[in-house]
Structure 1
Amino acid sequence: MKIHVFDTSEQLDRFAADLFIDLIKSKPDAVLGLATGSTPVGIYAKIVEQAKQQNISFGGVTTYNLDEYVGLTPDNDQSYAYYMNQHLFSHIDISPERTHLPNGMASDPQAECARYEAMLEERHADIQLLGLGHNGHIGFNEPDSALSAGTHVVKLKNETREANARFFASMDEVPAAAFTMGVGSILKANTILLVVRGAEKASIVKEALTGPVSTQVPASLLQTHPRVIVLLDREAGRMLV
């Protein structure tokens, strides 16, 4: 595990974007595992900037997103499909057919999980981008006595819904469930890129990266992966020094 701590968000975002751009330069048909939320916004902006400056094509790239809310249509401005189009896909030359998210409106959720997992098994991600939840979740894999290996539907814990409520008009509008890649799916990526910002995450960063490996802290399972790159701002990394 390689841990980098940055003084500014600009430095962190540029470092992360360079990892993606360098990968696509060396492997034009790369598979990218992508995340949403506030953490990757600056990273996606830098990827778009670098792609335009260096004339990098995403024509051969395939993407798979970690998760999607149950019950939101792709045109809902709080869906992750909408988020990805807003922050990345609409700004690069990637074909919509090469961008994949779980279908939040699937009539048969279990069949949708099986469909998505089958796609993930076809080609594992070259790099998987992750954020870190306040309770140690990655994707929407919440702390539990056992974790699902593959794509599944999870009932979101209140603390996760509360953390995401800032994106919605009211708490009542925050979906109660989501599709998510399982931890097993995540760990199949060749490289995992974990990005964490903010002083309020410092404690869970330390627990996840240096504490016991436990399903009660899903991110701690990243300690078992052979190639993890951790990018922290100074506040998130303050308890590691």
Structure 2
Amino acid sequence: MQIIIFDNTQDVAEHAALWVKELMLKKPGAVLGLATGSTPISLYQQLVSNHKAGLLSFKHTTTFNLDEYLGIAPNNSQSYRHFMNSNLFDHVDIDKNNTFLPTCNTGENPRVQGLAYEEKIKQAGGIDLQILGIGANGHIGFNEPTSSLASRTRIKTLTQQTLTDNARLFNADEFQPTLAMTMGIATILDAKYVLLMATGENKAQAVKDMVAGAVSAMCPASALQMHENTIVLLDKAAASQLADQEYYHWANDQNTKINQEFGLYHNY
């Protein structure tokens, strides 16, 4: 894991955008794994700004989202399809036919839909860069605690903590789903690179468990310890419970020198 700690959330977003931008410039047909939630919004704003400035094109990009609620129509303002359209897809030159979410409509078998999503990712050549946030309980995607580290795209029941955390996004009279389709942990670990963003003190314990705790299904994000190319971007608040911060800063200085000479990616 490469741990990079920044002063504020804006710096996290700007640095995340650099990783995405360099990949897309090196590989115009890159396959991106995308996340929803409040954390990546600032990243998407950076990417939209780069596109409008003529610095970035999504014309040949394919995307796969981590998850989607069960029982919500794509045009529902609470759906992750709507989220992605509003925050990214509607503002760049991407072909929406090349943007995929793990959906499961009424009457469809979620097990079959999960396998179909895995096959789509495989046919696209696999995910080059997977964007992640992290839940306060350590979830990535909607892989809640106790999720198998070998899991693939499937239906998951959301924990009460996740439902409570997300309730602020729903009006009192709105339907809040308790089920979702999500990429599995093994699916995420198949990505060539993983870029996880975490900001705010409420994520500090989960970040500590992910980075310094045991690899455990009780903290799904801890599985990223086993990924060869995981980059973790944190603001000071999210990093506040980490020991050895001096080392992380020093190591990042050394990596920066290498990246300046050879680029951020070593296999593109």
Normalized against structure 2, the TM-score is what?
Answer: 0.87
Cα distance between partner residues in 2 of 1:170 and 1:70? 19
1:181 equivalent in structure 2: 183
**Structure whose alpha-carbon radius of gyration is higher:** 2
Q: Which residue of 2 aligns with 1:15?
A: 15
CA distance in 2, matches of 1:148, 1:67: 17
Aligned to 1:207, the other structure's residue is in SS state: helix
Shift in Å, 1:102? 1.6
Check the 8 A contact 2:149/2:223 in 1, yes or no: no
Give, in angstroms, the shift of residue 151 of structure 1.
0.4
Q: Deviations over 1:101-126 (max 9, x none)?
A: 02242521222112111112222111
CA distance in 1, matches of 2:105, 2:64: 17
Query: What are the superposed Cα offsets for residues 179-212 of structure 1, whole Å, 9 maximum, x if unpaired?
Result: 0000000000000001111111111111111111
- Matches of 2:148 and 2:111, distance apart in 1: 19
- RMSD of the TM alignment (CA)? 1.4
**Post-superposition, which runs of at least 4 consecutive aligned residues in structure 1 deviate over 4 A?**
none
Q: Does 1:40 align with 2:43?
A: no
1:202 counterpart residue number: 204
Q: Equivalent residue of 1:128, what SS?
A: strand
Counterpart of 1:142 in structure 2 is 144
Q: Partner of 2:192 in structure 1?
A: 190
> Is 1:93 aligned to residue 93 of structure 2?
yes
On the 8 A contact 1:106/1:112 being kept in 2, the answer is no
Query: What is aligned with 1:118?
Result: 119
Aligned residues: 241
SS at match of 2:197: strand
Instruction: Describe the shift of the 1:172–1:162 C-alpha distance in structure 2 as closer, same or farther (beyond 3 A).
Output: farther
Structure 1 residues without counterparts, runs of 5 or longer: none
Corresponding residue for 1:84?
Answer: 84
Tell me, what secondary structure is at the counterpart of 2:53? helix
Q: Deviations over 1:37-85 (max 9, x none)?
A: 0010000000110122134211110000000000000100010000000
Question: C-alpha separation between the residues in 1 aligned to 2:182 and 2:173?
Answer: 21
Does the residue aligned with 2:13 lie in a helix, a strand or coil? helix
Aligned to 2:165: 163
Among all aligned residue pairs of Structure 1 and Structure 2, give the percentage whose two residues are the same amino acid.
44
Distance change in 2, residues 1:153/1:95 (3 Å): same
Distance 1:54 1:6 in 2: 27
Amino acid of the structure 2 residue aligned with 1:121? K
Letter in 1 for 2:121: L
- 1:166, 1:223 → 2: CA distance? 31
Supply the distance in 1 between the matched residues of 2:148 and 2:130 (Cα, whole angstroms).
Answer: 22
C-alpha spacing 1:156/1:148, structure 2 compared with 1 (3 Å): farther
- When normalised by structure 1's length, the TM-score is 0.96
Counterpart Cα distance in 2 of 1:6 and 1:145? 30
